[in-house]
Structure 1
């Protein structure tokens, strides 16, 4: 019996060991090739792919075509699964990989029919763009085919990767539209309900575009409107059933910081810093690359461009080419409008336009589902866009969104690689087919400039773009794109400084009208950057990093002072006494060990949500399911109410504004005290702990997920300060560089360079990003070299 038992145990151990070995071998089989040579009929001359200790890639070739092919090859070997997710997320094809759980995401995306639009855009693209995309696509598919085993994510999901197409690269650009814009335009749907249910004074009070926190590049801060008077709105008698335990408003949104100083403040070339704030993941969305190839305009010269590439596209999105350096921040302009689709009374499934009646186009979209039958959705489209919602009176609404209009996507951004001056870069930015972004550029001659990069719609007819409008009237709606000559632009300002941080940039007037208001971020972060720039008269790259890592809590400090004054006047209590004691550790920063920062932040947010939900309750009298949209400027409204203390705008159940604030404090105290260790143990780092995960880790056992994810580090920083940071959102890269002096720049990357967990570059550089430690902007010495050699055709 014992012998039999030993044999069974031995056999089980043998099976487990064999299975583990086979799994390990399978994983190793999908590792990229780092050294040696690869023959290819697509390569015109020998091309090298070098990797440094962080996995940063340098590709050197005899033509941009060869380098493009090689970049596609590397992207596929290192990041094909992540590229696949981006094209599928834009096209609404995730369920084909993940099954029915992904259907809600696919249905929301598929209504925009992005794959059909991408294929149509590719067919109309210039011959140059088609050639670049064709070469890049060939490289991707060659890199994928060269792996001995399909990428490990497909082994886990039991799928086979689908070859890349040219349209897929345009879909990756479309995916950035989805990341940076609200593809459902929910904010303006909510505004329509607010406009219908609230007096105009209340609507304007809640939805204004800016106030005293503004720090635009041109013009003064805006004046926030006065609160509505008691004759317009009285919240004291609001039925309490209309109030909800509101979900906390999001404190972070896709954005970025970018700022630049001219040569007058550096003693040489201008200097630019950029940190693009996006959802953080493993591996990072960006892939560090340096491309070197002959300059087609100057015999004997070479193009040398470095920075952040976006796998799935052949461009360096942000970086430097030794003549110019550039970066982006989300502009938060208004690039989507709801159009009222008025039915033709004489014909079903037709609607009215300025040119007469038109038919609604109907498309049946089939969504493939892994392990199940395909699902279908019906998309009804107008000339303005798909019908996706209803107005407050039941009228169908079509969404006009720049992403779905012809010309929204192109490869003009590639021309930045060969641009030599800030002025040349600005002209390129105006023609770029991409989500409209703030574009900052610095050049080696010391010049700096700002403009909008990407397409902006030209609105005519004087309608309010924040509310649904009737475009069946003559000369009303979008009339193509804003002309390049009409784009706002600021070059070499007298203060020698430029800054953008997703807040309003330009003064009220024509330029602000062209850009619109798509939900500008509160200006607190932008103001802190501006003031940090004004505090210095000479700059190095290290000074730019100091500003990027600035986690001073200037925004919350007035709230701390308000809370201290409230506690000094209020009635003492166990929870309040503990809160008052904890406030003594305030160091003026969103630091990981600060209890006071967490308390002040939690209290401010509780006050905000309590006050704003009363206004939402007033809207629920007409629309029972109403939820407030994200009101980025609500700080102005909230602070105005606390300062003015209008009794008629108190939420029901509170006798005074002081009572409301104390009640919010008590709720926060109860919540913090009931956790292990009580209030004294509630540090900001405990709340702001990294959750930077691989896309598949949530579906895997914990020990595997921990292997794939980045460490659970406590992170300094927060929203409304330059060092934007939440557990899974923040700087997807940080760099600062002076064109022509790249050797003294830096580039930090979270989440690592490689998407393969057995790669030496998986998570490489992440620890430096957590610590804010600068790593060189240019790749370091090569430790691996792969040569692509031309093969006989």
Structure 2
């Protein structure tokens, strides 16, 4: 017993020592918040932090501010930045092991590490200097930690220093996020659909608009006609869904696809003080920490040293730019444009020499690149990439012809730091002239100024001029005059300044008609319901405050579902089946909101989802019979064609498994009731139980639940969903939410989920997250400083 007691004592001592060592290491990886540090700055830089961790950087030059911003990002966000650069370059497996190889293989074929070198070399000298200064700051911040970031302790790895080209890789990571991971699967599937069904059915299924359209310019597009029985008839035995109809389900079992981002503005004529108001909420995958970093950046205006540049908003760790917010004169934000920025090019190999391919100038050799994928704890592998002048060979057309991917992200011009120039712009008109020159994914850019002007245009320095082909389908560019013929000049970009209605709105749906639509294309626009709801919310008021714009941002009314509720009620009204009695009772009333307590919303939502899947199942099956890996391409969730089918109820377009269209509707209701009941009584099937937050740190899945809870945000019920302004899924939603009156920043707000820091011991871990959950406006301007760090010139 004495020996056992002694062993227990020693074990406890060792355990306490181990826990103490682990705690010391964790504490050592916290960012420095106070004191004075010697650094490569020319004059002192003051870094203050408020209770939320918002960093206020005050410098005597943009040069020193760039270094200091890198320092702060390197101290607090290096692991996040590392994941972004490695993801873009296809180098994640080198850090985390073989589990990342599938992603690395998909991304490495784009060779963005090499393209980052090329893009950096092509920048103006002052922009290359900014990239270099930022990298120096990042590495200084990383080196100034007492212990390397805690994530690397968990992974047993050392962080690799930041390089100037890595900031370009972070920008490429945003292209992946905003351009469908660079796979262009939609157009592959459009080609398969077109090859497998008659033209009339193809045009009907992928019609480009609906009654929900609400563009800034133009009207809703005309509906495509129903195919006639002579053109396509399911009664002839073609395309039965088979089984229970769910093996060809359009939507995943738990969650609709969630395209997101809203921005809108009202002119000064509609505000009390004459300044414009700009609202923005960029919807992205939500993580801990949040993708953005809250900051206030202050330095002398290089155009007039007597004035100060004062930026309030968000930065993107990994880059030296201030991304969105206000400079006191203008406020601006973005939504993803969902234009067509990727095209498939049919490549004709030389029959005599397959290493050559046809171009307008004759045969040209393919470029071959051998890429080595490094794998932590495993064997490295090689990847051979064949590349054409248009892009790498990544797929095959329906007839087996190789396809090269032309992507604007592959162009050196797609990346630059012209966004820095926005920091000193004083008017909406100036901002609209600059936006088309800013190197970034093509975004809807909405801006307002302190004089009351508002405007919209597109960002992005790589808007191709397309000639001689249909950009929605693979095309042969080997003939002269076909393909991308240069780039759209900035002055030719679509633009709206001071619209007559004094309001602007975008929400990932189509924003314009011809000829602008032909320039932008369709990369998979969202259903216009969300955009329409924002437009109507703006038109319903004649005077606005930031609180009025917040009310629109938090609007969780399910207006698009109201017709589906009526359809469900009409379907169930004559039905007396016991298995549908509770479903019928609970869905009879209609709250019309995606609120956390709403049961009716979830029931109608699930009914709609299953009706769409069942209506489309035979068409999807018809294509799958020829192309086994076919998936229905995104087409505004097929709301327009399915609703047209339900209104006309044509027998020749009904899956033969169903006796009539009412039988299909009843089957969908039964499926919805049965599946929802598996989780418990239907009366408890609230939307909040389904829509639980899962906002996690990237490494928390590798930890026991009791430890992961210290990293992740709480699992809270969240209101909102697709097709309404408050887009919200468990791990997808508004990555920031602001409404700003430029020049009136004290009356403006900025909310952000996930907190400023991903460190579990940081006072800023999760700070501000509860405001975001509850929709409480967090002030845009930082609060009182609770910490102050000074960077001083190294002697």
The two structures have a TM-score, normalised by structure 1, of 0.98
Partner in structure 2 of residue 337 of structure 1: 343
Partner in structure 2 of residue 139 of structure 1: 137
Displacement after TM superposition at 1:584 (Å):
4.4
Quote the Cα distance in structure 2 between the aligned partners of 1:244 and 1:369: 38
Q: Where in structure 1 are there 5+ consecutive unaligned residues?
A: none
Quote the Cα distance in structure 1 between the aligned partners of 2:628 and 2:720: 37
Displacement after TM superposition at 1:674 (Å):
2.5
Which has the larger displacement, 544-553 or 341-350? 341-350
Secondary structure of the residue that 1:373 maps to in structure 2? coil
Asked if 1:713 corresponds to 2:750, the answer is no
Partner in structure 2 of residue 752 of structure 1: 755
Alignment partner for residue 573 of structure 1, among 559, 572, 577?
577
1:258–1:327: 8 Å Cα contact kept in structure 2?
A: yes
Secondary structure of the residue that 2:544 maps to in structure 1? coil
Partner in structure 2 of residue 632 of structure 1: 636
Quote the Cα distance in structure 2 between the aligned partners of 1:293 and 1:567: 65
Which has the larger displacement, 143-152 or 459-468? 459-468
Displacement after TM superposition at 1:36 (Å):
0.3
Residues 204-228 of structure 1 show CA distances to partners (whole Å, capped at 9, x for unaligned) of 1111211211000011100120121
Asked if 1:327 corresponds to 2:333, the answer is yes
Quote the Cα distance in structure 1 between the aligned partners of 2:762 and 2:722: 33
2:270–2:544: 8 Å Cα contact kept in structure 1?
A: yes
Displacement after TM superposition at 1:299 (Å):
2.7
Change (3 A) 1:133 1:321: same
Displacement after TM superposition at 1:480 (Å):
2.2
Quote the Cα distance in structure 2 between the aligned partners of 1:729 and 1:722: 13
Quote the Cα distance in structure 2 between the aligned partners of 1:56 and 1:520: 35
Partner in structure 2 of residue 191 of structure 1: 190
Residues 737-792 of structure 1 show CA distances to partners (whole Å, capped at 9, x for unaligned) of 01100010000000000121100000100000000000100111100000001121
Asked if 1:212 corresponds to 2:215, the answer is no
Quote the Cα distance in structure 1 between the aligned partners of 2:257 and 2:320: 29
1:210–1:633: 8 Å Cα contact kept in structure 2?
A: no
Partner in structure 1 of residue 8 of structure 2: 9
Partner in structure 2 of residue 351 of structure 1: 357
Quote the Cα distance in structure 2 between the aligned partners of 1:195 and 1:651: 20
Asked if 1:79 corresponds to 2:77, the answer is yes
Quote the Cα distance in structure 2 between the aligned partners of 1:588 and 1:270: 32
Alignment partner for residue 682 of structure 2, among 672, 679, 684?
679
Residues 191-590 of structure 1 mapped to structure 2, 5 A cutoff: 191-236=190-235, 237-238=237-238, 240=240, 245-247=247-249, 248-249=251-252, 251-267=256-272, 268-507=274-513, 509-569=514-574, 571-584=575-588, 586-590=590-594
Asked if 1:790 corresponds to 2:793, the answer is yes
Quote the Cα distance in structure 2 between the aligned partners of 1:254 and 1:658: 31
Partner in structure 1 of residue 606 of structure 2: 602
Displacement after TM superposition at 1:656 (Å):
0.7
- Report how many aligned residue pairs link the two structures: 787
Partner in structure 1 of residue 597 of structure 2: 593
Which has the larger displacement, 526-535 or 343-352? 343-352
Which has the larger displacement, 710-719 or 649-658? 649-658
Quote the Cα distance in structure 1 between the aligned partners of 2:173 and 2:52: 27
Asked if 1:30 corresponds to 2:36, the answer is no
Instruction: Kindly report the root-mean-square deviation, in angstroms, between the aligned alpha carbons of the 2 structures.
Output: 1.2
Displacement after TM superposition at 1:132 (Å):
0.5
Quote the Cα distance in structure 1 between the aligned partners of 2:773 and 2:678: 30
Displacement after TM superposition at 1:652 (Å):
2.6
Residues 537-563 of structure 1 show CA distances to partners (whole Å, capped at 9, x for unaligned) of 000000000000000110111111111
Alignment partner for residue 645 of structure 1, among 646, 649, 659?
649
Alignment partner for residue 147 of structure 2, among 143, 146, 149?
149
1:732–1:750: 8 Å Cα contact kept in structure 2?
A: yes
Residues 3-32 of structure 1 show CA distances to partners (whole Å, capped at 9, x for unaligned) of 222112111111111111111100000000
Secondary structure of the residue that 1:372 maps to in structure 2? coil
Partner in structure 2 of residue 780 of structure 1: 783
Displacement after TM superposition at 1:672 (Å):
1.6
Q: Where in structure 2 are there 5+ consecutive unaligned residues?
A: none
Quote the Cα distance in structure 1 between the aligned partners of 2:178 and 2:239: 38
Quote the Cα distance in structure 1 between the aligned partners of 2:234 and 2:792: 74
Secondary structure of the residue that 1:192 maps to in structure 2? helix
Alignment partner for residue 622 of structure 1, among 626, 629, 634?
626
Displacement after TM superposition at 1:68 (Å):
0.6
Quote the Cα distance in structure 2 between the aligned partners of 1:356 and 1:319: 50
Quote the Cα distance in structure 2 between the aligned partners of 1:199 and 1:92: 40
Alignment partner for residue 95 of structure 1, among 93, 96, 101?
93
Partner in structure 2 of residue 733 of structure 1: 736
The two structures have a TM-score, normalised by structure 2, of 0.98
Secondary structure of the residue that 1:27 maps to in structure 2? helix
Moved over 6 A (4+): none
Quote the Cα distance in structure 1 between the aligned partners of 2:466 and 2:55: 47
Displacement after TM superposition at 1:588 (Å):
1.6
Partner in structure 1 of residue 120 of structure 2: 122
Secondary structure of the residue that 1:255 maps to in structure 2? coil
Residues 680-711 of structure 1 show CA distances to partners (whole Å, capped at 9, x for unaligned) of 11110000000000000111111111111100
1:238–1:652: 8 Å Cα contact kept in structure 2?
A: no
Alignment partner for residue 659 of structure 1, among 657, 663, 680?
663
Secondary structure of the residue that 1:563 maps to in structure 2? helix
Which has the larger displacement, 236-245 or 453-462? 236-245
Partner in structure 1 of residue 694 of structure 2: 691
Secondary structure of the residue that 1:380 maps to in structure 2? strand
Quote the Cα distance in structure 2 between the aligned partners of 1:739 and 1:710: 32
Quote the Cα distance in structure 1 between the aligned partners of 2:342 and 2:239: 35
1:708–1:757: 8 Å Cα contact kept in structure 2?
A: yes
Displacement after TM superposition at 1:456 (Å):
4.1
2:241–2:655: 8 Å Cα contact kept in structure 1?
A: no
Secondary structure of the residue that 2:616 maps to in structure 1? helix
Quote the Cα distance in structure 1 between the aligned partners of 2:653 and 2:533: 31
